[in-house]
Amino acid sequence: MANMAQAIRMALHYAEENLGVTDIFGEDVGAPLGGVFTCTQGLKTAWNSPLDERGIIGAAMGLAMAGNRPVAEIQFCDYIYNTIDLLKIAGNTHWATNGDWNLPMVVRTPVGSGIRGSMYHSHSFDATMTHIPGWKVVMPSTPLDAYGLLISACQDPNPVMFLEPKALLRVKGDERIPGEPDDDRALSKLIDAPLGDRSQWKPQWPTLEAFSVPIGKGKVVREGAQVTVVSYGRTLPLCAKAADQLKEDGFSVEVIDLRSLWPYDWELIKASVQKTGRVLFVNEDTEVTNFGEHLVRRTVEELFYSLLAPPRLVAGKFIPGIGLADALEMASVPQQADITSAIRSLAGEQP
């Protein structure tokens, strides 16, 4: 099975061959590196930009306004914060021009903890990004969803922010990408650049098939009746493992992978909460003004009389950065034990 980095690379190849993507660019995105996480190795439209995040976003906006379809990369989301004003302009362009101008651009950026990246390579961006209207925002938790969401993003007429949970980029999926060879080692030989000299290397792409995940649609990954858990990105697999562990103790936990943060699948959340009466929202961004807090507020406002217990949020600690030491990083963001404990407590609450 492909890992998420390979799935992203195959989706970008499919997009440049079939969906009119014209430029895939950013710092170290082109040859020879092909991205610090190898997501852009071997792509024919990939090129290297200067070390300039504002220049990358500005160039993507200009290319999109000129009728091209760019996919820009910010190497780590920690460095996207100095582009906020440009992201605001990109998001409001279609609205501000009364629909006369579209910006068919995608911005990819790795987010979150999991690689011992410490203070400058471990931040999250989902809460900040969902504060900027005019963008669609997605974050996959599996390679197949990464492939399908990126293909959908590359067809959208307006800006899409594609958040890549860096802790999952090397994790293989449970489902094959359409057109992926059955042999994992064969896939690696086809599309992974060799170590050392790459000057003569060219990828041998498999015959990839059209596949898309609709932006705005979540999915139930574990069915249950006692507690609803809503998550995305790095924490989603932890929630699924917690649900599996608790099932052995007689708990029935429903786990929803939101996949899209804007627009998000409120109807899926609503139906689940009306069934279980209890809901836990989980992500690793800092807990103050967290996207999960918005979901808690909406749950209370619209589903109050369906609730058997107050909605809860498990999120990252409200601290300036993620610690470098393993113990500090683990303590800074949600781990499986934190999620398991929160589910147990929530399931035990009675009206």
How sure is the predictor about 41, in pLDDT bands with cuts at 50, 70 and 90? very high
* pLDDT over threshold 90, residue 26: yes
User: What was the pLDDT predicted at 40?
Assistant: 98
User: What was the pLDDT predicted at 266?
Assistant: 98
Instruction: Determine the average pLDDT of the residues in 196-205.
Output: 91
The H or E element that residue 319 is part of is: none
How sure is the predictor about 323, in pLDDT bands with cuts at 50, 70 and 90? confident
User: What was the pLDDT predicted at 117?
Assistant: 85
User: What was the pLDDT predicted at 118?
Assistant: 85
State the alpha helices, DSSP H only, in the chain: 4-18, 53-65, 84-96, 126-129, 143-153, 184-191, 235-247, 266-276, 291-303, 326-332, 336-348
In tens, the pLDDT along 230-268 reads 999 999 999 999 999 999 999 999 999 999 999 999 999
Query: Facing residues of 121 across strands?
Result: none
Q: Are 200 and 45 in contact (CB under 8 A)?
A: no
Six-digit token string for 292? 């999960």
**Cβ contacts of 284 within 8 Å, gap of 6 or more:** 112, 113, 124, 233, 234, 235, 315, 316, 333, 334
* pLDDT over threshold 90, residue 19: yes
HSE, side-chain direction, 13 A CA sphere, residue 170: 6
Enumerate the active-site residues: 121
User: What was the pLDDT predicted at 199?
Assistant: 84
pTM: 0.97
